[in-house]
Amino acid sequence: MKRVLVLYAKYGGGHLSAANSIQNFIEENYYFDTQVKSVDCVEYASPVLSGLTIEAYKDMAKKAPWAWKKVYYNSENGALSHISTDIAKKMARKLHTLFKEFLPDIVISTHPFATQMTSYLKEHENVDCKLATVLTDFAPHAQWLVGKDYCDLFFVSNDDMKTELTNDYNIPETKVFVTGIPLSDRFLDDFKEDECFDVLRLKKEKKVLLFFGGGEFGLGEKRTVKVLKSLANHLDEYQIVAISGRNKKMNNEFLKLYKKVKNDDLHIYKYTTNVPELMYISSLVVTKPGGLTSTESLASGLPMLIINPIPGQEEENARFLEKSGAAVWIKKDDDIDMIVDNLLKDTDKLEKMKENCLALSKRDSTKNICNIILEKNKK
């Protein structure tokens, strides 16, 4: 029986979600000859470091995004890149215990640290396993490619990424697969529009705008509320579902707006488990461009209005999505009301954006990733 170890780290929800999707697919489709296990590699190696660095990442991204931007780019080519790599090497030695206990035939990484740790163990501890790296954004960062010579397969979201990996990092084309980012199978359900409206208790005669407030990061609270206010000017034509996430301050601001507009077509939620259904029936989503939400939006054929990207990776995602015609990005000095008004009135543009989303989407991403890895490593 093959043993597959899926390694992730909780720096943003996308890495964990990708790992969960991969594990679930393998358990459901390869249960007869494959044992699979998922582990947070940083937490396993150092629970204290994991907790400290995750909180530091959240605080810096939320309170000092300019500082996070410096960290992001310095960790690619500057002095911080060496520090980051050195930390991964030290954690790899502790992770070695897990490898000796589980004896994986295949390691699937959804985070740069996991790739670095496994590459180090393959090079220095004679760990004998295949390594597959699943990049969970729309542009690569150099940290994903540390130890690339010890990685057997790379899975990327788009053709531009494959070109960059092969041309700039000299990775053989045969090792790089354009599969898309792993996607929860809930987004593949055969939804019925009327049933979705009924479940969500929304009006079937009005279009839906979906609004994500930024979750636990809650970046640019004033700016976020300003965008929601601008959308609320269109409640004659649309109904809005606004989800604040874990940010209490954001939720309070949303509720203040609700009391001000006094319109029941503005729905405020802290949290919902019905995101796939909401995306299916919505005409537009306002969101940060995280790899996970962007992938779900593309699979749903849902145009994106991008706000408040975290500097670094999310800005790279925003550039790709806007360039590809799947999103409009509201930047710092843009006229929010004008952009919102023009977009909502331009039904032809929204329809073209929907087509571009579907053209970019790779709904079978998880299936294709798992099948390629496991078929290439048959015993």
> Over the chain (379 residues), what is each successive 10-residue block's mean pLDDT?
95 89 97 95 88 74 71 61 68 93 97 93 94 96 92 97 96 97 94 95 96 68 90 95 88 92 94 95 95 95 94 93 97 92 95 97 96 83
Domain made up of 2-183+363-376: CATH architecture: 3-Layer(aba) Sandwich (3.40)
> Residues spanned by CATH 3.40.50.2000 within the chain?
2-183+363-376, 186-360
Q: Are 34 and 1 in contact (CB under 8 A)?
A: yes
What is residue 79's predicted lDDT score, i.e. its pLDDT?
45
* pTM exceeding 0.85: yes
Residue 111 has what pLDDT?
95
Q: How far is CA 358 from CA 21, 323, 353, in A?
A: 20, 15, 9
**Distance (Å, whole) CA 233 – CA 348:** 21
pLDDT at 310: 87
The DSSP bridge partners found for residue 287 are 306
Of 177, 199, 186, the residue nearest 108 (C-alpha) = 177
What pLDDT score does 215 carry? 59
Domain boundaries 186-360, corresponding CATH code: 3.40.50.2000
